[in-house]
Amino acid sequence: MKANKWSVPLLLVTTLALGSGCASGRREMYIQEKASDYVYRKPIAEVWPQVRAMLAEKELPVREAQGAYEISTDWHQQGAASNLGTSYVRYLVRGHQPSPALTQVEILRQNRVESGQGAMATANNRTTGTDSVNRTRDREMEWELLQRVDPEGAKALKAEAEATIK
């Protein structure tokens, strides 16, 4: 196969574009991992109202545990119900206070897929006919919270990612 005068520049541009896309994705992953371990240099009483506000903006109905920094949301449907399966999500947010001046926040996302038509939640919020349930850290939401609560810390973390991952 004979190369034309455009094949080498085109290959170089394609390689650079793919490489920068990969680096961008790696930086985003790096930021989200660091956001999950982030320790706010603020007491929990200053951070927790921001947690509540973020969930309220997402229109998530919440239940807050009395005497603890823990919030859970109700299940809510994602997308339309389907014969193939219906997806639901809920969140559990926990605040930890390693010292009076430091706070950590963990946001867990629980996904549920049910086969068949529509929700099958019982009165005590348990489900029947559930095909799969999993729980993972919601690093995107933790990063969103970090940007909201500590914009300077988020900016520093973003700069660190830019300098670390090329």
Q: Which tens digit of pLDDT belongs to each residue from 43-98?
A: 999 999 999 999 999 998 899 999 899 999 999 888 888 777 888 999 999 999 99
Query: Which residue has 């810390």 as its token pair?
Result: 153
For residues 129 and 166, which has the higher predicted lDDT (pLDDT)?
Answer: 166
Structure tokens at 65: 């545990």
**Predicted local confidence at residue 82, as pLDDT:** 77
- pLDDT above 70 covers what percent of the chain? 77
Structure tokens at 122: 């019982």
Work out the mean pLDDT of the chain and round it to a whole number.
82
Cβ neighbour number for residue 100 with a 10 Å cutoff: 9
Structure tokens at 107: 């946001």
State how beta strands 70-73 and 86-99 pair. Answer: antiparallel
Q: Cα-flanking dihedrals φ and ψ of residue 135, to 5°?
A: -130, 130
Closest CA to 93 of 59, 58, 141: 141
**Predicted local confidence at residue 71, as pLDDT:** 97
Query: Which residue has 């200053």 as its token pair?
Result: 46
**Predicted local confidence at residue 156, as pLDDT:** 94
Is 13 a residue whose pLDDT tops 80? no
Provide DSSP, the chain: ----TTHHHHHHHHHHHHHHHHHHHHHHHHHHHHHHT--BSS-HHHHHHHHHHHHHHTT--EEE-TTSSEEEEPPEEES---TT-EEEEEEEEEEEEEETTEEEEEEEEEEEEE-SSS--B-TTS-BSSEEEEEEEE-HHHHHHHHHHH-HHHHHHHHHHHHHH--
d(CA 41, CA 25): 28
Read off the pTM: 0.74
**Predicted local confidence at residue 46, as pLDDT:** 96
